[in-house]
Structure 1
Amino acid sequence: MRILPRLARFSALAPAFLALAACKMEVLKPSGDIAERQKDLLLASTGLMLIIIIPVMALTILFAWRYRASNKKATYRPDWDHSTKFELVIWAAPLLIIICLGALTWVGTHLLDPYRPLDRLSVSEPVPDQEPFRVEVVALDWKWLFIYPEEGVASVNELAVPVNREVEFSLTASSVMNAFYIPAMAGMIYAMPGMETKLHGVFNNGGEYQGLASHYSGHGFSGMRFKAHALEPAAFDEWVDEARANGGVLDRPRYLELEAPSENVKPMTFAEVDPELFDRAVNMCVEQNKMCMAEMMALDDQGGTGLAGTINMAQLTYDKEIRRGLARPVFGQEPFMVTSFCTPADSARMFSDLRQSQPVVRVDQTPMRGIALPRPENRLGLGMDMPRLIQDARRPAADNQL
């Protein structure tokens, strides 16, 4: 009769088990070479750790059974405290496992560096002599914006890329730090305000895959998901043509509207995109006449703006704070932004597309070496020659026409 209550308890858990059965093993079912190698690294690390975990769990049960109080045959040795063979096993085995894990992790970390261009498309296919397919990603509250600089279109909460072609993601965020993750394609990478991060990956198989924000970033975080479509070249061209046919222009005012917090946003596309939009999002100067971080750093590198800067001094206010009504007063006044000193020519130089002029450098990874990537330079250049700009900036406030 006691069996029936137990069966009733297990039957109550049946819906939970059914719900878990519907989950997909995204990480262990990759569709790209990078994700496949990450899966191998995960399985190898897990297997090495199980070499210790399984014997420990088995011995725990064995010792509990063998030295139970009712077992009169168990040897009682209260004065035993040392065994050289036992000490050798319990110290040498974990030490060897740690060494193997360290070597595996070191090589895997450099081999799968998200900033490093791919060394192959798959096990049997090398990377062709072709530029990576570029996608610019902005993490908004709470949605993903994808900009295709070569095609001149953009999409929200929907990603489409050609299959079997290297994809280079350039990522940033508009407000808080977030994490970009397509488990079937590549690893996770952070998207942070005021910074640009990189991620390289490839889809070897066509299909529809899940993309998500893997970091909590606020109230609408749970709806910050998107579908990633790996399409054949012809199908991708059709997707681009459809985006252009749908119309819509993503300029700076439209971006500021889109950046406002919203939840569970349905996918949408834009037929035209401001070519400077992503770089301005990185430099936190989408608003009209706002000083960009690249300009501010270049001025600071030249010694600052002198007396002229005293009337232009304020915190570089995050864009999201003004639109959310959270901006704090500056020196007792209403929040205001740092005004740009750049001329149109300076802005054109700052936001010129430097990516096209920089060839992709692929590193021979056999044997594996931990060679760091080259340090990125300021968009304006650390050794830039801007005498007129600096001279005007250092004039007395009464003479400076801003």
Structure 2
Amino acid sequence: MRRFTAFGILAGTMIVAAGCKSMIVFDPKGPIGAQQRDLINLTMLLCLIILVPVLILTAWIVWRFRDKKNNNAPYQPIWSHSTKLEIIWWGIPIAVILVLALFTVHYTYALDPAKPLVSEKKPVRIQVTSLDWKWLFQYPEQGIATVNYLVIPERTPIKFELTSDGPMNSFWVPQLGGMIYTMSGMSTTLYLQADETGNYMGTGANFTGRDFGRMGFTTKAVAQADFDKWVAEAKASKNMLTEEGYQKLALPGASDLMTFASIPSGLFERIVHEYSMSRGAPPGITLKAKTLSGEKALEQSEGGQLPPGNNAQKDIHQMGNSGHNMHMNHGK
């Protein structure tokens, strides 16, 4: 029975170790993904410096001091203190934590999602909007958009600008880099790059309701010539995304792959500010709101929220309707 148990443990360990090779985060295809893989490997190595000796000592102690049959000797431990051992089992973990802290600080700055990638090529901007339950990708410089799939040129930095028109979600292409959240009322930035052509899995890694499991998408990295050809074909598709079309697209429900030859100007910015400005002021990027709290009026910058439990919101809408208290002084 002991041999069977030992064989089972060994076989299970081999299976788990073999499965690590198929984990896509350990097979990065871009500079960000490669640095994140290195950080994961380094962290695991530092942890194993502590974990492996502890497991070995635990097994040895259990075996060395196990109870035996016909053992009638009384349990009379003799306690002693060893300064050397105390230094070892306190000093090594402290040293590991310090080393890990140094690497954590380094990678925190190196892997800042909004930090531009060093490249001779101009980044391609893609505006990402998570919907219920689909992804809208806008290419503002190319004037096109897609739903549930991405096409990017290889060896070119991609500047993702992300928001949500609905529940918070998280954008993740594991082989290119770590995830970043999409949240309504704000825009976040993420730089990624694919160093090889291929199809890479993308997903929404946050639970958002009924069809959240269908929010997967494919990121296709292609050569620059193929990317330009795809853009030309998308423009020739004559499938226009209008304001009315977007309102229908934003309704809850899954969606198939879609390509749009044109997009409404400023759609992404309006999605962001619809949430950031809808409390205390009408939607708009250049508006400031005056909010009332009790008897004192406080002026807040864009995105300000009215305190609950009073008539401030009602009053501010009346002020906004009068047209005398809203000023176009954004950025001053």
TM-score, L = length of structure 1: 0.67
Partner of 1:84: 83
Alignment of 1:365-376 (within 5 A): none
Tell me the alpha carbon deviations over residues 108-155 of structure 1, each in whole angstroms, 9 at most, x when there is no partner: 011010011113xxxxxxx11x43110000010111100000000000
Partner of 2:248: 257
Partner of 1:318: none
- Partner-residue secondary structure (3-state), 1:54: helix
Partner of 1:31: 29
Decide which structure has greater strand share.
2
The verdict on how the C-alpha distance between 1:339 and 1:227 changes in structure 2, with shifts beyond 3 A counting, is farther
Partner of 1:199: 190
Q: Is the 8 A contact 2:122 2:156 kept in 1?
A: no
Structure 1 residue 159: deviation in Å? 0.4
Q: Distance in 2 between matches of 1:85 and 1:21?
A: 40
- Partner-residue secondary structure (3-state), 1:236: helix
Alignment of 1:2-401 (within 5 A): 24-70=22-68, 78-119=77-118, 127-128=119-120, 130-263=121-254, 265-284=255-274, 291-292=282-283, 294-296=285-287, 298-300=288-290, 303=299, 310=315, 312=317, 381-383=330-332
Q: Which piece of structure 1 moves more, 213-222 or 156-165?
A: 213-222
- Partner-residue secondary structure (3-state), 2:163: strand
Q: Is the 8 A contact 1:291 1:340 kept in 2?
A: no
The verdict on how the C-alpha distance between 1:67 and 1:21 changes in structure 2, with shifts beyond 3 A counting, is closer
Q: Distance in 2 between matches of 1:176 and 1:159?
A: 21
What are structure 2's unaligned runs of at least 5 residues? 292-297, 301-311
What are structure 1's unaligned runs of at least 5 residues? 120-126, 315-337, 347-379, 384-402
- Partner-residue secondary structure (3-state), 1:171: strand
How many residues matched? 296
Structure 1 residue 87: deviation in Å? 1.1
Q: Is the 8 A contact 2:185 2:275 kept in 1?
A: no
The verdict on how the C-alpha distance between 1:308 and 1:268 changes in structure 2, with shifts beyond 3 A counting, is closer
Partner of 2:295: none
Q: Distance in 2 between matches of 1:59 and 1:308?
A: 66
Q: Is the 8 A contact 2:270 2:284 kept in 1?
A: no
Structure 1 residue 250: deviation in Å? 1.6
Tell me the alpha carbon deviations over residues 334-376 of structure 1, each in whole angstroms, 9 at most, x when there is no partner: xxxx87969xxx7xxxxxxxxxxxxxxxxxxxxxxxxxxxxxx
Code of the residue aligned with 1:48 in structure 2: it is L
- Partner-residue secondary structure (3-state), 1:254: helix
Q: Distance in 2 between matches of 1:230 and 1:341?
A: 50
